[in-house]
Amino acid sequence: MTAKPVDVAVGILMKPNGDVLLGQRPAGKPYEGYWEFPGGKVESGESILEALKREFVEELGIHILAADPWCGVEYVYPHAHVRLHFYISRDWQGEPQSLEGQAFAWQGSFAVSPLLPATIPLLEWLDLLRDKNHSELIL
């Protein structure tokens, strides 16, 4: 695929115990039923952080108060070439709500399945953060 990648803001909500929020892709979207970190496309004129905040309000009714950039990953799916910008937030307001009919779950050991392919390496990196306390992985 030669198309320019689509920028996507992705948020990792992290509780003090290290659990993170995963959401299940709703019906009608590519990879329906797969689990991923919440987020969405960056609109024209929007910063990555602005897109992240907007998406979390629209999808989950959560207001991100602060988030730190973590890493970026490019992934080519059969339907899209995406550039994923991951942020970690430990500071938000509200409780997750299913505003788009999606399931969501706080995960510590990542028991949900199937996982969206681009999500899998991030879960492994998060395991390093939790299990070995490698704080240098967070920029």
List, for residues 99-116, the tens digit of each pLDDT value.
988 999 999 878 889 999
DSSP per residue, 71-127: EEEEEE-SS-EEEEEEEEEEEEES----TTS--EEEESS---SSBPGGGHHHHHHHH
Please tell me the pTM assigned to this model: 0.87
Q: Strand pairing partners for 12?
A: 88
pLDDT at 96: 94
In whole angstroms, what separates CA 15 from the centre of its chain?
Answer: 14
Q: Which residue has the higher pLDDT, 5 or 133?
A: 5
- Residue ranges of domains in the chain, CATH in brackets: 6-137 (3.90.79.10)
Percent of the chain with pLDDT over 70: 91
Both structure tokens of 97: 């709500």
